[in-house]
Amino acid sequence: MITFSSIAGLGLSSMIGVNFNAATTQIVPFLTLGLGIDDMFLLLHNYQDLLFCVRKNEIGVLLKETGMSICITSFNNILAFVAGIILPIPALRSFCAQTAILLCFNLFTTMFLFPALIASDLRRRKAGIRDMTPPCMSKGKITPTESTAQVMSTQNIHEEKHYAWYTLEGILHRWYIPMLHNKVAKAIIIIICCLMFGFGCVGLYQSKLGLELADVLPEGTAPSAFLKAPREEYFSFYPMFIVLKGPHIDYPNQQTKIEELRAKVAESDFVIKVDGKSSEPYWMSLMRIWLISLQTELDKGFEKGVIDPINGSLYIRSTTDERINDEMLLARRLVCSYGKKYNCTGRINMVRLVDDSGIINPEGFYNYLTAWYHVDNMMYYVSQAAFFPTPPSWGFDPWADEIVPPAEPLYYSQIPFYLTDLVDTPPIVKMIKEIRAVSEKFTDEGLPNYPAGLAFTFWEQYLHLTKNLATAITIIGGCVLLVISVIIFNVWAAAMVAIVVVSMTIELAGFMGLFGVKMNPISAVTLITAVGIGVEFTAHVVLAFLTSLGTREERMESAMRHMFIPVVHGGLSTLLGIIMLAFSEFDFVVKYFFVVMTALILIGLFNGLAMLPVMLSIFGPPCEIQPTDGSNMLSPPPPLKKQHHQKNEKNAEIITGNL
């Protein structure tokens, strides 16, 4: 049934446009299968017990006993994956969204379809039909007398039945419950939990950021083998750009500011430099060099008397005269073009394309940009400027005496840099912080810009990973506290569940740090979902404790008798569900899901079945029902005939009193 509900959930995910990727296809089906079976074990375990003590409305009583636990654990699991959508990584958002949808389908199946099958099995039992046989092979209908006799003979089932030592029941009754009553054992469990929490804090402090590129590719493929080569030799070099974003940048009058930005970025130890400057020229420096060369040719023409110094007209218009060349003619047209005007009078020997300080003439900046883009087009592509919008179409005619059209103000342009020594995630993150700080500083000073490149695309998420992770865990932790408090109206019990779950999350994060599992968006999703999955190991026990009678020790024992086996079965079923992940061809699936989820299940079982019972026996919340006679059990109700007789007597007394 869980398999079919998972297929239905995947179908709905596809219909609403949730994208499939390696994480969703390799992990989601097995993870949801393991989580979905947990609640079914709880239903089946209680169903077997109810057969001996309930004679009618069995399914109603079954859901009354287990429905709240199932709702609490399922809602918290769903909320945990919904919280994972906070992480700004599209692939992981799809993974969390699909898992949440599948868990919703699992909840519907567990609460509605599976109880219907149990009701069908109950009818079979009452009809005396053997399991897995045709209806004709009936043992005979069970009569109420037989059922009552069966109930009476099993009233003291816990006291009379002896369990084999190698079964879970035998281990629970022979050794585990007596151990939980022992004060020395309690002290040892508390010490172990404190040590686990301490190691968790140390491991969390020592955890490193990163995700190996080879881990996200199938094992045994050529790209995976290539990426596993020494990173220092092949993958320490990355290109990057500083993107100038307009249209509010005043390029003609902010040339000095742009040069300062480029120089400041080049101060980083990770930028490749030549003579203390960035090794890569950019479009404005190349255009400046080109304009200086044109200015040199124009000066030569003026010295040779080819151009009139007053009105800028040409004395010679011969194509064979060696004193005239295309560069000189183009320079003359550029000097005469400024904005949307064309005027050569008084400009030839007065206006310089580039002044002595290296500033391109602001008046004709965009006219020069059009000319450079079309005439020196190869250098434009070498500069990797990527203009948007591109300058208008224009062709150079040496003897045309007309304006060079100005380009529109640039919305987008790039300044290239080359980075090195980026051998691992920590130095890459350090580089991103340095470049980001410079970029934001100049943006605040009126030069809007931002860094771009492969390193920023794939690693900038680590800058905010810790913040996003803390936010998501806080949200799901608060949801756990709120959901349990609202459903059972007991803040004390909800707080105990939240404390145990948060400690489990810290212990899991410490395990990851101590055993070399790096912190990245994938492991962050596992940590976020650990909060919700951890409720599976705690909520059942706490609810059983609340509904038990007696002292805290007696209620703890009753809760363990009632929930130990379902919790163990649920944990093992989840483990069996994810064990298939160990055979995935993707290393990140094995490392970040199978290993981490296995550790989560083991940590959860210890905290839920060892630490939590000890806490409950020491300072657990009071029981919801307290018998007036101080006993640890409720008095059975009187027979219906006696109740009817007592009601008639009471009515008679009331009538007599009124008379």
What is the average pLDDT across 320-334? 80
Question: Is the pLDDT reported for residue 214 higher than 80?
Answer: no
- Cα 289 from Cα 365, distance rounded (Å): 14
Burial code (b: 16+ CB inside 10 Å, e: under 16) for 323-334 equals: ebeebbbbbbbb
Question: Is the pLDDT reported for residue 154 higher than 60?
Answer: no
Q: What is the pLDDT of residue 159?
A: 46
Ranges 61-70, 153-162, 338-347: which has the least confidence: 153-162
- Cα 529 from Cα 531, distance rounded (Å): 5
Ranges 207-216, 340-349, 483-492, 538-547: which has the least confidence: 207-216
- The model's confidence at residue 2, banded by pLDDT at 50, 70 and 90, is confident
User: Which domains can be identified in the chain, with CATH numbers?
Assistant: 2-126+162-210+464-619 (1.20.1640.10), 237-462 (no CATH)
**Higher pLDDT pick, 269 / 468:** 269
- The model's confidence at residue 140, banded by pLDDT at 50, 70 and 90, is low
**Higher pLDDT pick, 112 / 320:** 112
Question: Is the pLDDT reported for residue 480 higher than 70?
Answer: yes
Question: Is the pLDDT reported for residue 349 higher than 80?
Answer: no
Question: Is the pLDDT reported for residue 149 higher than 50?
Answer: no
**Higher pLDDT pick, 291 / 520:** 291
Question: Is the pLDDT reported for residue 229 higher than 60?
Answer: yes
For CA atoms 510, 512, 516, 517, give the dihedral sign: negative
What is the average pLDDT across 78-89? 78
- Cα 240 from Cα 238, distance rounded (Å): 7
Q: What share of the chain is helix, strand, coil (3-state, %, to 5)?
A: 65, 5, 30
What is the average pLDDT across 39-56? 77
Question: Is the pLDDT reported for residue 651 higher than 70?
Answer: no
What percent of the chain has pLDDT above 70? 86
Question: Is the pLDDT reported for residue 527 higher than 60?
Answer: yes
Summarize pLDDT for 351-407 with one digit per residue, the tens. 889 998 999 999 999 999 999 999 999 999 999 999 999 999 988 887 788 899 999
What is the average pLDDT across 294-314? 80
What is the secondary structure of 419-478 as a DSSP string? E----SHHHHHHHHHHHHHHHHHHHHTT--EEEEEHHHHHHGGGGTHHHHHHHHHHHHHH
Instruction: Choose among 308, 323, 329: nearest CA to 396.
Output: 329
Ranges 224-233, 270-279, 325-334, 458-467: which has the least confidence: 224-233
Q: What is the pLDDT of residue 156?
A: 44
Instruction: Choose among 555, 548, 554: nearest CA to 625.
Output: 548
- Cα 104 from Cα 94, distance rounded (Å): 15
Token duo for residue 157:
């089932």
Residue whose tokens read 């130990």 = 564
Summarize pLDDT for 444-454 with one digit per residue, the tens. 999 999 999 98
Instruction: Choose among 289, 214, 284: nearest CA to 251.
Output: 284
**Residues in contact with 532: Cβ distance below 8 Å, sequence separation at least 6, in sequence order:** 76, 77, 78, 79, 80, 81, 83, 476, 480
Question: Is the pLDDT reported for residue 586 higher than 90?
Answer: no
Average pLDDT, the chain: 82
Measured at the CA of 493, the angle between CA 488 and CA 494, to 5 degrees, comes to 75
Beta-strand pair 412-419/277-278:
unpaired
- Residue 162 sits at φ, ψ, to 5 deg, of -110, 135
- The model's confidence at residue 489, banded by pLDDT at 50, 70 and 90, is confident
- Cα 517 from Cα 505, distance rounded (Å): 15
Question: Is the pLDDT reported for residue 166 higher than 80?
Answer: no
* pTM confidence score: 0.72
Summarize pLDDT for 176-211 with one digit per residue, the tens. 889 989 999 999 999 999 999 998 888 888 888 877
**Higher pLDDT pick, 499 / 469:** 499
- 276 in the Ramachandran plot: left (φ > 0), alpha (ψ -120 to 50) or beta? left
Q: What is the pLDDT of residue 360?
A: 93
Q: What is the pLDDT of residue 241?
A: 95
Q: What is the pLDDT of residue 136?
A: 57
Q: What is the pLDDT of residue 603?
A: 92
The Cβ of residue 35 has, within 10 Å, a number of other Cβ atoms equal to 26
- Cα 604 from Cα 71, distance rounded (Å): 19
- The model's confidence at residue 234, banded by pLDDT at 50, 70 and 90, is low
Q: What is the pLDDT of residue 147?
A: 42
Summarize pLDDT for 594-622 with one digit per residue, the tens. 888 899 999 999 999 999 999 999 988 88
Q: Are 420 and 237 in contact (CB under 8 A)?
A: yes
Q: What is the pLDDT of residue 155?
A: 43
Ranges 52-61, 190-199, 282-291, 575-584: which has the least confidence: 52-61
- The model's confidence at residue 158, banded by pLDDT at 50, 70 and 90, is very low
